[in-house]
Structure 1
Amino acid sequence: MKTKRVLVAGATGYLGQYLVKELKKRGYWVRVLIRHEDQMRKFDAVDDYFIGQVTEPQTIVGVTKDIDWVFSTIGITRQKDGLTYMDVDYRGNSNLLAEALHNQVEAFHYTSAINGDKLRHLKIFEAKERFVDELKMAGIDYCIFRPNGFFSDMRDFLQMAKSGRVYLFGDGRYKLNPIHGEDLAAVCVDKAEARCKESIIGGVDVLSQNELAELALKAWGKPIKITHLPDWTRRFTIWLARTFTSSKTYGPIEFFMTAMASDNVAPSYGSKRLEDFFRSEVNEIRMKV
């Protein structure tokens, strides 16, 4: 059987790097889309590099030539370079899809997030879900991955815990099950091979926010000190951010604070534990000191 040729866009990001490793481990031919030549050093072994910017369509002409599958993890959490969510999460992916359609790519796989389709009023999801809609109407085989929070996102809790206290909104009982990038990459490739259309993906540990805070404090060897703030402070902070800052600033704030106000539990996959990740992160930080 012919080896599938895969393009990974967003390959330098947290999930993208794990996707490249997983695809190579399974014997796929892999091309990565990068923005700068010096980003080549991030990869141990890929078959081809393509340098271009998805927000500048003339620079990615030919990126999907001879490609069977596209995996796109392109998106921004903290905006920079004057680019908006619409510029990157929507138009950037739309430009890439146009190339895929032009070159008759077999399938396009895209990473949004859990509940993105229900939270379109948030700036970050307004753009992501507009692209999801476009992809579903494009006439190409597709899979939409909707992961829960990444382990890397949980570093915010770890950073807070370093001071010896974690602050939570409400009673801290809402649950989530974040997933490690390595586990998520394996699930994404599994789902692509199974030609799944849409999948919600979470990690093995379902934790309340209180339990998550405890793990972060324990990783630092700190006593358990958690302060619960009244929920009106969360809503007021979102209002302040939306009223007095640009979407560049308030986008990540409203996303994080909205997610903290409900359960976000997805079907569990993988084997990596958040407790081990926190311990490893703390050890790494201490070795650098």
Structure 2
Amino acid sequence: MINERNKNILLAGASGALGLEILKLLEGGPFNVRALILSKKEEEEVKPFTHDIWKVDAAKEFYDIQNITEGIDVVISAMGKSVSLFTDRGNSFYEDDFEANQNLITDSQNNKVSRFVYVSIKGASLNHDFEIPRVHKKVEEILKGSDLDFTIIRPVGFFSGLHDLAIMAKRKMIPLVGDGNAKTNSIHQRDLAKLILENLFEGPELLEVGGPKIHTRLEMAKMISEKIGGKIIKVPEKIAEWGMFIPELLDKDTAEILKYFKFITTHDMIGDKYGTETFREYLDTLDLKSLP
């Protein structure tokens, strides 16, 4: 039995949808929690849960985060660039997903961290034609080549990652690429946070996980429409493919998001079932006023 008392935990990406759920679960426990965030706004979000806060861009010079893991027993990295079309673009996926985590792994090795839990993405082992899973895979390879004890968790996708569809539904349309028959079992970020903490001190090298229920993309679009409104607009795959070229003239990251969105919504993306919270239940608790 591992003695968990007074363990020091570093949570990278602490202000994200998943990071905040992890912080809430850690609150009041026997751990000292250090949070890695980017901005003053994010600092206000994590302050209720910890006062040990590093506000720094981990993707920049390694010097900026040097020794952030000093005295740390376990690192949890839920750090990466948002895939939402409605967020500030900022750094590239390569910078925020790869370079930031590479720096964090290097510092963890330098400071002899006992364990590293990395949140990757379902499909990281397969889809090297797409930037988003490719950079996650590169982080996985560095972690596997390190001397760290680790667990890589590949979620199918978070419920919060579907907020773009909810935002579009507020604007009266829900785009659906293809026939909508591809299946997935996205997971609530709170359930994923619980899984991470179950594997905090020991666990397998790899877990691919989804939520408790499998739905087609069309079924999920219908649930969004019933809750928020908006008309489901089916976009033929060929038309979607041509549409992917247009954003490249303006914003590379937007193009990458749209390309990968087209892929995952037209292919089955299913992980091992975990958790209890369903997508319909999540929609019932969604604060529509918080969406732009």
Instruction: Verify same fold: TM over 0.5.
Output: yes
Deviations 1:185-227 (A, max 9, x none): 001111233422111111122111111011111113x48x533
The whole-number CA distance in structure 2 between the counterparts of 1:84 and 1:165 is 28
The whole-number CA distance in structure 2 between the counterparts of 1:288 and 1:16 is 19
Structure 1 runs not aligned, ≥5 long: none
Matched, 1:147 2:150: no
Measured after TM superposition, the shift of residue 129 of structure 1 is: 1.2
Matched, 1:67 2:67: no
- Whether the aligned pair in 2 keeps the contact of 1:29 and 1:47 (CA below 8 Å) is no
Residue matched to 2:177: 169
RMSD: 2.3
The whole-number CA distance in structure 2 between the counterparts of 1:153 and 1:81 is 16
Residue matched to 2:187: 179
- Whether the aligned pair in 2 keeps the contact of 1:203 and 1:270 (CA below 8 Å) is yes
Q: Write out aligned runs for 1:101-116 (5 A).
A: 101-116=109-124
Report the TM-score, using the length of structure 1 for normalisation.
0.89
The whole-number CA distance in structure 2 between the counterparts of 1:34 and 1:167 is 33
Q: Write out aligned runs for 1:213-224 (5 A).
A: 213-220=221-228, 222=229
- Greater Cα offset, 104-113 or 74-83: 74-83
- Greater Cα offset, 82-91 or 132-141: 82-91
Residue matched to 2:14: 11
Structure 2 runs not aligned, ≥5 long: none
Q: 1:165 to 1:54 in 2, by over 3 A?
A: closer
- Whether the aligned pair in 1 keeps the contact of 2:225 and 2:232 (CA below 8 Å) is no
1 or 2, which has the higher helix percentage?
1
The whole-number CA distance in structure 2 between the counterparts of 1:73 and 1:288 is 22
The whole-number CA distance in structure 2 between the counterparts of 1:206 and 1:25 is 34
Q: 1:286 to 1:130 in 2, by over 3 A?
A: closer
- Whether the aligned pair in 1 keeps the contact of 2:123 and 2:133 (CA below 8 Å) is no
Sequence identity of aligned pairs in percent?
25
Alignment partner of 1:249 out of 247, 251, 254: 254
The whole-number CA distance in structure 2 between the counterparts of 1:24 and 1:276 is 25
Paired residue type of 2:205: K
The whole-number CA distance in structure 2 between the counterparts of 1:75 and 1:63 is 17
Alignment partner of 2:272 out of 260, 267, 284: 267
Q: 1:177 to 1:48 in 2, by over 3 A?
A: same
Paired residue type of 1:234: A
- Greater Cα offset, 46-55 or 181-190: 46-55
Paired residue type of 2:58: V
Deviations 1:128-166 (A, max 9, x none): 211110110011111111011111122222233334543
The whole-number CA distance in structure 1 between the counterparts of 2:176 and 2:40 is 42
Q: 1:245 to 1:19 in 2, by over 3 A?
A: same
- The 3-state SS of whatever aligns with 1:214 is helix
- Greater Cα offset, 94-103 or 27-36: 27-36
Matched, 1:48 2:62: no
- The 3-state SS of whatever aligns with 2:11 is strand
- The 3-state SS of whatever aligns with 1:142 is strand
- How many residues of Structure 1 are paired with residues of Structure 2 in the alignment? 284
